[in-house]
Amino acid sequence: MGYTYLSSMDKSDIITLPHKALHKVSRRVVVFNDDTSKIIENMKSATLNWETSRDHEVGVALAAVQINELHRIVIIREDSNDKNNKNFNVYINPEIVKYEGEIEEDFEGCLSIKDVYGKVPRYTKVRVKALNEHGQKIRLKAEGFLARVFQHEIDHTKGKVFVDHIEDKPEAFYKLSKAGNIEEMNDAEKKQIFSILW
């Protein structure tokens, strides 16, 4: 017999722009207690529930600010290529200690900005330090898509969203079509989106 996690969160708990919290800086986690575990569980359940409502997207990662909890906690899917793998790695107080490789532009989306994609410049390699959910220090190197995910999520802990990187580049904005393709936006669509974002 299972049990129900009474107050577990769903996709409606994920805040979206122009919610002001998305531009606030999150606090460092200094004590690990039941509240910390609860936030992590809520982040996982909200991300997985969001994914069930999105035919063409994977819930790759989430920062705590996206459920309106201003703590520096990030979860990243263990294998973002496999929707059946529902496990996440947890990073607490994550920081990029070194940027390496080159700067590359590629598409990025965000659970807090519905149907909008952007071509965002990011480093191809980063070194990250953080604590895991047991409070142990971890260091890792990430490259390619995972390096992009870390940069995107760590930005969230600093109150920055991917669209802030391309604020003055309307040509970098794209949309997700109903069929799941990333397509160009027309001027009217861009105008409407910009009025929502800032």
The binding site for Zn ion (CB under 5 A) comprises 110
- CB of 135 or CB of 144, closer to Zn ion: 144
Task: Report which residue's Cβ sits closest to Zn ion.
Answer: 110
- CB of 110 or CB of 172, closer to Zn ion: 110
Q: How far is the CB of 4 from Zn ion (least distance, A)?
A: 28
Query: What CA–CA distance (Å, rounded) separates 36 from 133?
Result: 9
- For residue 50, the SS3 value is helix
**Amino acid identity of 108?**
E
Query: What CA–CA distance (Å, rounded) separates 139 from 13?
Result: 31
Active-site residue (options: 51, 69, 108, 153): 153
Q: How far is the CB of 180 from Zn ion (least distance, A)?
A: 19
- CB of 113 or CB of 131, closer to Zn ion: 113
Q: How far is the CB of 33 from Zn ion (least distance, A)?
A: 26
- For residue 9, the SS3 value is coil
Angle CA 24–164–153, to nearest 5: 60
Contact present, 132 and 118 (Cβ < 8 Å): no
105 is known as an active-site residue:
no
- For residue 179, the SS3 value is coil
Catalytic residues: 153
